[in-house]
Amino acid sequence: MNFSNKSIILGICIMVLSCTNKKNNEVPVSQKKPKLVVGIVVDQMRYDYLTRFKSKFGTGGFKRLLSNGFSLKNAHFNYIPTYTAVGHTSIFTGTTPDNHGIIGNHWYDKYAKKMIYCVDDSNYKTIGNDGEGGKKSPYRMITTTVTDQLKLAQNMQGKTIGIGIKDRSAILPAGHTASAAYWFDGGAKGQWISSSFYMEELPKWVTEFNTSGKVESYLQEPWTTLYDIETYTESIADDNEFEQPFKGEERPTFPHDIPTLRSKNNNYSIIKALPAGNSLTTDFAIASIEGESLGQTSFTDFLTLSFSSTDYVGHQFGVDSKEIEDTYLRLDKDLERILNYLDTKIGKNNYTVFLTADHAAVQVPSYLKSVNIPADYFSSTQFATYVNDITKKHFKSDRLVENISNFQLFLNKTTIEKKNLTVNEVADVIADNVINYNGIYKSITAKTIQKSAYTSGILNSLQNGYNQKFSGDILLVPNPSTISYSKKGSTHGSGYSYDTHIPIIFYGNGIKKGTSTKKYTIIDIAPTISNLLEIEFPNGNTGKIIDEVLK
């Protein structure tokens, strides 16, 4: 063989080897990390809304996620209380209130001796206007989020943006290291604002959005149903006694004359209680992706997006109302709009979405009672009197309980000590006696929770929600479908299935198609997304990876 032939053969071998190595080392598109993760939380969404309204959803919103993503049909919250701030925090920290420290929206601070709000922080000022609505930060959340861990893993590169009409729903998911969080300031303002925790001034794109007239445009027409109201057969009669009308309305019925009603309902704040609030949030989310160039670098960006108007509508009109049905049919259109935008802007295989809820909701107890289902209302004032009668009878004092809130009792340790009593003996007596109060299903002392390890059931949920440093001395569980609320509209907060059973859907880059009926908990989302992104779990994580959703 001459030199020329050897050279040709060697060249062919090098070419083959080079092609083989390139093929083996090249990462298929489907295995590349997403350029953008979008974590969607629908406030107060019950799982059964997916099935109840399925026949009326289009193909591009909820159905697209269900058909092409992975849906968990038996996903639940595993703690009490099921409130907005707690839910958003647990989703993104991968743990429960006993670890992350957010034990409510508001709770009694037993050190400061006052009620506090989860994201209030007087160290910061409002960015965007001269109001008080921006004095906020996530400092009361004592663990990291999956969004924090992504920033740490990328050496603080990449952007995290939090968006929600509610401040707590924007701030807590975005974490301590967020590039920005934005929420809506209603009343006379009608603007998206932020906090000096994040920035010194609003970016140009936010200012342009605020001056675009978009908010005002949504308040120019009455709220009518998307489709013929006669087709809304999944809901009870429009005119009923279980819904709360807007101020200025005689009956809670369609159409709702928003241009007229806004002046009596805190002006721009009325948009929070309309499907238009979700549409406005979608507009702002799209503007944020465009304005911040999310998903356009070699780093992974994260957008946390909370749709809050579903919660306002649910509280006012209830689970079975035609208003809640119309709100979800319109949200379906907004989801389609943002998914189509992501396809175009980021690329169909370049983003990952998960959709879940921060809690579900109970059907209006007065409605349940009307159809002979056990349900009731809990009077906090009457209960406080009952508790004081107990302490007067056993300890000759009605000053031993400092605060009653969120179905927790905080004892006055100073007074107890002065009377030569102990916290444990007072707590034991109260817990043993309040169980006899109509509407209370279980009562347990903090000391009992600290000494026990409940592995299932309602007491396990109560234990997961108990934080030794911040929670009360006695914890209560009301009867099923028993709430401390108005008899019109509904609420949430319990550990019963109607409050805990929520959707969890994963979609997009790195996600399989399918469904599962295995039981998963809300805290499993963060470690699953962390695993997908190949980053460390949030530092308080107690959830597990949901293997079956990942490719």
- Closest to 465 measured CA to CA, from 435, 495, 485: 495
> Active-site residue 445, yes or no?
no
541 Cβ contact partners less than 8 Å away, ≥ 6 residues apart? 93, 94, 95, 523, 526, 527, 530
Query: Which region holds residue 207: left if phi is over 0, alpha if psi is between -120 and 50, else beta?
Result: alpha
Cβ of 128: how many Cβ atoms within 10 Å?
Answer: 22
- Compute the distance between CA of residue 472 and CA of residue 476 in angstroms, rounded to an integer: 10
- Compute the distance between CA of residue 442 and CA of residue 439 in angstroms, rounded to an integer: 9
Q: Which two tokens stand for residue 452?
A: 């026990």
Catalytic residue, candidates 84, 145, 500, 528: 84
Helix (H, G, I), strand (E, B) or coil at 528: helix
DSSP H or E segment with residue 38: strand 36-42
Helix (H, G, I), strand (E, B) or coil at 418: helix
> What is the tally of helices (H) and strands (E) in the chain?
21, 18
- Compute the distance between CA of residue 368 and CA of residue 503 in angstroms, rounded to an integer: 23
Say how many CA atoms lie within 13 Å of 342 toward its Cβ.
27
- Closest to 551 measured CA to CA, from 26, 34, 24, 25: 34
DSSP for 120-132? B-TTS-EESSSSS
DSSP H or E segment with residue 210: helix 204-210
Phi, psi angles (nearest 5°) of residue 70: -125, 120
In contact, 307 and 166? CB cutoff 8 Å: no
**Secondary structure string (H, E, C) spanning 342-374:** HHHHCCCCCEEEEEEECCCCCCCHHHHHHCCCC
Helix axes 84-93, 167-174, angle to 10 degrees: 20
DSSP H or E segment with residue 7: helix 3-25
- Compute the distance between CA of residue 218 and CA of residue 269 in angstroms, rounded to an integer: 12
In contact, 63 and 49? CB cutoff 8 Å: no
Catalytic residues: 84
